Amino acid sequence: MKEGRNLSSQPRQPKCGLFAFLKGRKSYAEAKPETVALARELRDQWLSLRKISAELAKLSDTQAVEVTSALQDSEVRVAGLVREVRRVVTRKGQIMAYASLEDLTGTVDIVLFPRIFEQVRLLFEPDKVVVVLGKVDARAGSTRASGASGAPPVDPEMEAEVETASVVAEMAWLWDDPECLPVARRQLVHVRIPNSDSGLAERLEAVLARHPGTDEVVLHVVVGSREVIVNADRYHVLAGPALTAEIDELIGAASTRLETVRPKAQSNGNGRSRR
């Protein structure tokens, strides 16, 4: 924002985790005392994040590294440690914010427009662990500026600040908030199989039968230099590590890929929220 004012009272914190911070440093002995203290603080935060990573995995459906333009307009839930919060005053005098959220895979940018930020501002403080529901926006707010889906126009200055592959927040919770319930998304199990083994299909069917569930299977049959995609509608399985490990053991390493089916977001960045 050219005319906006940065309201952050504290210096901006580094948008990096422990490993990025320590990159290039040979040892603690060569670092200044304050550097060592900060590194230890980052280490403790990282370890704390790892301890609750299993719980965060239940509450979210997308990791930071997965937030790319490929998920444009998709509804996602991300969870992690708040690293940076930058408040900005819009031309209309409203306060919005940009935050950085870090999980074990990297950092994702969160956009909090005025209405949602007013409701969740107390959650977005450095070192708090939060869960955010929102929409992936890799187009710098162009749909909101055009008024698509009934959204009000956004100040042009806002758009320039929205970074590629951000999550526009719709709801937010502290990770241990009882109102933040686990999320479950339908998954597609992609299996790449060679056409040269005549008995492989029967053995694969037996593996799939041992993991009944509601997720669908998509077969990628390799025929010479071509790959034929077959939707195996009659197979419904429980997607997860146990199934993928058994299929990979049968066919070969990295023959299975899980795809999370995410709904398209219906809102405009000024939706509901929870404190």
pLDDT at 5 over 60: no
DSSP letter at 30 equals G
- Read off the pLDDT of residues 230-242 as tens digits, 9 standing for 90 and up: 887 888 999 988 9
- Read off the pLDDT of residues 43-53 as tens digits, 9 standing for 90 and up: 666 667 677 88
Q: Which residue has the higher pLDDT, 272 or 117?
A: 117
- Read off the pLDDT of residues 257-268 as tens digits, 9 standing for 90 and up: 999 888 887 765
- Read off the pLDDT of residues 146-183 as tens digits, 9 standing for 90 and up: 333 333 444 444 444 434 689 999 999 999 999 999 98
- Read off the pLDDT of residues 130-146 as tens digits, 9 standing for 90 and up: 999 999 998 644 333 23
pLDDT of residue 263: 86
- Read off the pLDDT of residues 11-23 as tens digits, 9 standing for 90 and up: 434 444 544 444 4
pLDDT of residue 3: 43
* 91 residue type, one letter: R
Tokens in use for 20? Answer: 């990025």
Query: Mean pLDDT for the chain?
Result: 78
Residue 217 φ then ψ, to 5°: -115, 135
25 CB neighbour count, 10 Å cutoff: 12
Q: Which runs of E-coded beta strand occur in 116-158?
A: 129-137
Tokens in use for 270? Answer: 């000024």
- Read off the pLDDT of residues 93-117 as tens digits, 9 standing for 90 and up: 999 999 999 998 999 999 999 999 9
Reported as a pLDDT band with limits 50, 70 and 90, residue 250 is very high
Could you tell me what percent of the chain has a pLDDT over 90?
Answer: 47
Reported as a pLDDT band with limits 50, 70 and 90, residue 1 is very low
- Read off the pLDDT of residues 52-96 as tens digits, 9 standing for 90 and up: 888 888 999 999 999 999 899 999 999 999 999 999 999 999 999
pLDDT at 4 over 70: no
pLDDT of residue 37: 64
Q: Distance (Å, rounded) from C-alpha 260 to C-alpha 243?
A: 15
Long-range residue pairs from 149-154, CB within 8 A, at least 24 positions apart, any chain? 149/266, 149/267, 149/268, 150/268, 151/268, 151/269, 151/270, 152/268, 154/113
Q: Which residue has the higher pLDDT, 30 or 259?
A: 259
pLDDT of residue 85: 95
pLDDT of residue 215: 94
Long-range residue pairs from 267-270, CB within 8 A, at least 24 positions apart, any chain? 267/135, 267/149, 267/170, 268/144, 268/149, 268/150, 268/151, 268/152, 269/111, 269/113, 269/116, 269/134, 269/135, 269/144, 269/151, 269/168, 269/169, 269/170, 270/113, 270/114, 270/115, 270/116, 270/151
- Domain spanning 51-174: CATH 1.20.5.510: no
Pairing type for strands 166-174 and 129-137 reads antiparallel
